[in-house]
Structure 1
């Protein structure tokens, strides 16, 4: 039997609410009032979690491992996973980033437990704007590269600390983002629903943002618009990789 303190721990309560929120895929979506209520409850629980609840000791700049190629810039503590959601903790070293990436068909919630992160969120645009055929890139792109581009818009850039509310994403909004450590090491607890699963079409893709120039806009001295940003899928950046380390906190049982 699980110890009583584990059954009533903050992380256990979060996992239980995450299961309630995401276990029925047919009920997910912003049109479903019950889903929104459950998502709000989960967000409230996530807002209260602190490093001490997970028995994680914040790491200082001085004690952070070196940034040599031997030590990964980011490590992950696996907390719990079901078919409905995964939960874990990402730890970023000083100056580390999780590059621009997506979460296909997934909901997510991120809560900083120490340090500070900067999160830049992008949304794909469904249809190119009128005149997109005239956009130019420098350097010029090959036809195959152009055919795979998707117009995008920068939705937000925000900084989050342990005092901030969780950052929330859905399949449609803020789904593509980059996470940067700011002013030292940082860590955050992360929920994704459902988990990544390449066999089910939920693989992680990495992107580069390209800035396009419209010939018509240049002639009219118009300022560049957000729609002039484009996503180009790239391989996982060589400077980024994620290692693993044990999770020291209370166990989860559902």
Structure 2
């Protein structure tokens, strides 16, 4: 009886210690998650304090934000792949994309896009903005462009020359065209370099966006969407692109309507940001 009681007491003590350690780790994880989100906010507040349209942070500040974002995980913002945001239903004609706003002011914004499988954010620009994008989980295809220099703005359609000039079509160089799977490094777009991109979810995925400054119609930072066409779609007259490199270019045309995108807003439920 004495032996059994000793074993029971030891087992209860071990379970108590295990519970204490587990609770301690859980509290530390919650503090770490909150700390990372707050750290990102405070860094953005410093980096973009004097920014505005066309502002590019010094390289040291770019490296500072990149280092913070590179370490961000889904748990840091309260996300898991099992959430409703990442599911599709038979009734959905288009995959519905969810946007979670963490913070926004006239200097910068922090938000998360949640994409179900096959969800697409069409090709769009970021006028006068520096953009940091961090894939938190899942896989997605990213294609980004920069405008080609000294290219005709209104080329002739090669498929149907009778159509004549094609207004609003400009040549752009493909900078990135690849699949990415988390964990991976943060991608960065600058006001005059690689400023247009599109995303397609290979699997359910989420990415965190930092925009400095954010979109603002009043300040001339309006989001424009584009169609993209292969280089061979239009005449190459007046274009100084070697024949062997032409697959690395596309023609972009502004879109008046975006019918293939549904974005809904939802309330961010992760660690809160404290604006001190």
Task: Name the TM tier (shorter chain).
Answer: 0.7 to 0.9
Secondary structure in structure 2 of the residue aligned to 1:42: helix
Q: More helix by proportion, 1 or 2?
A: 2
Secondary structure in structure 1 of the residue aligned to 2:174: strand
Asked whether the equivalents of residues 67 and 73 of structure 1 are also in contact (C-alpha less than 8 Å), the reply is no
Which residue among 222, 226, 230 is the counterpart of 1:207? 226
Structure 2: segments with no counterpart, 5+ residues: 1-29
Question: Does the C-alpha gap of structure 1 residues 28 and 229 become closer, same or farther in structure 2, counting only changes over 3 Å?
Answer: closer
Which residue among 176, 182, 185 is the counterpart of 2:204? 185
What is the match of residue 35 of structure 2? 9
What per-residue deviation string (whole Å, max 9, x for no partner) do you get for residues 149-171 of structure 1? 22111111132233100011111
* C-alpha displacement of 1:70: 7.2
Which residue among 202, 205, 216 is the counterpart of 1:197? 216
What is the match of residue 158 of structure 1? 178
What is the match of residue 241 of structure 1? 262
What is the match of residue 225 of structure 1? 246
Instruction: Tell me, yes or no, if structure 1 residue 102 matches structure 2 residue 125.
Output: yes
Hey, what's the Cα distance between the residues in 2 that align with 1:71 and 1:20?
A: 39
Question: Does the C-alpha gap of structure 1 residues 159 and 141 become closer, same or farther in structure 2, counting only changes over 3 Å?
Answer: farther
Query: In the comparison of the two structures, how many residue pairs are matched?
Result: 240
Question: Does the C-alpha gap of structure 1 residues 91 and 26 become closer, same or farther in structure 2, counting only changes over 3 Å?
Answer: closer
Asked whether the equivalents of residues 88 and 95 of structure 2 are also in contact (C-alpha less than 8 Å), the reply is no
Hey, what's the Cα distance between the residues in 1 that align with 2:273 and 2:87?
A: 28
Asked whether the equivalents of residues 231 and 247 of structure 2 are also in contact (C-alpha less than 8 Å), the reply is no
Asked whether the equivalents of residues 33 and 76 of structure 2 are also in contact (C-alpha less than 8 Å), the reply is no
Question: Does the C-alpha gap of structure 1 residues 204 and 140 become closer, same or farther in structure 2, counting only changes over 3 Å?
Answer: farther
What per-residue deviation string (whole Å, max 9, x for no partner) do you get for residues 163-209 of structure 1? 10001111112210011101x21001111110111111111111011
User: TM-score, normalised to structure 1's length?
Assistant: 0.82
Which residue among 59, 68, 72 is the counterpart of 1:49? 72
What per-residue deviation string (whole Å, max 9, x for no partner) do you get for residues 11-32 of structure 1? 11011111211221279756xx
Asked whether the equivalents of residues 135 and 212 of structure 1 are also in contact (C-alpha less than 8 Å), the reply is no
Question: Does the C-alpha gap of structure 1 residues 215 and 186 become closer, same or farther in structure 2, counting only changes over 3 Å?
Answer: closer
Secondary structure in structure 2 of the residue aligned to 1:37: helix
Secondary structure in structure 2 of the residue aligned to 1:122: strand
Structure 1: segments with no counterpart, 5+ residues: none
Pick 1 or 2: higher relative contact order, CA cutoff 8 A, min separation 6: 1
RMSD: 3.2
User: TM-score, normalised to structure 2's length?
Assistant: 0.76
Question: Does the C-alpha gap of structure 1 residues 195 and 29 become closer, same or farther in structure 2, counting only changes over 3 Å?
Answer: closer
Asked whether the equivalents of residues 96 and 180 of structure 1 are also in contact (C-alpha less than 8 Å), the reply is yes
Structure with larger Rg: 2
* C-alpha displacement of 1:240: 1.0
Asked whether the equivalents of residues 133 and 209 of structure 2 are also in contact (C-alpha less than 8 Å), the reply is yes
